[in-house]
Amino acid sequence: MKKPVFNVRRIVTFVLFLLICIGLYLLALNSYCDQGGNFDLGVCAITSFIPF
């Protein structure tokens, strides 16, 4: 019998990896904005809501 291509463990691992990547990216942007960086798209306004 064939194994399914997408099983629950693989999906959970992928979503967890994606959340970790997004969190680290937002942390880097928050650090950049705290040092005085400025974006025209308003990214620094969004990262001001991050508590860390």
| C-beta of residue 11 within 8 angstroms of C-beta of residue 25 | no
| C-beta of residue 50 within 8 angstroms of C-beta of residue 30 | yes
- Could you report the per-residue pLDDT of 19-52, keeping only the tens digit for each? 999 989 888 887 887 777 776 667 777 777 777 6
Q: Has this prediction a pTM greater than 0.75?
A: no
Dihedral pair phi/psi, residue 4, rounded to 5° = -70, 145
Query: Residue 4 gets which letter from DSSP?
Result: P
Per-residue CA distances from 45 to 8, 10, 15, 19, 34 (Å)? 36, 34, 26, 21, 11
- Could you report the per-residue pLDDT of 2-23, keeping only the tens digit for each? 777 678 888 999 999 999 999 8
What letter represents residue 25's amino acid? Y
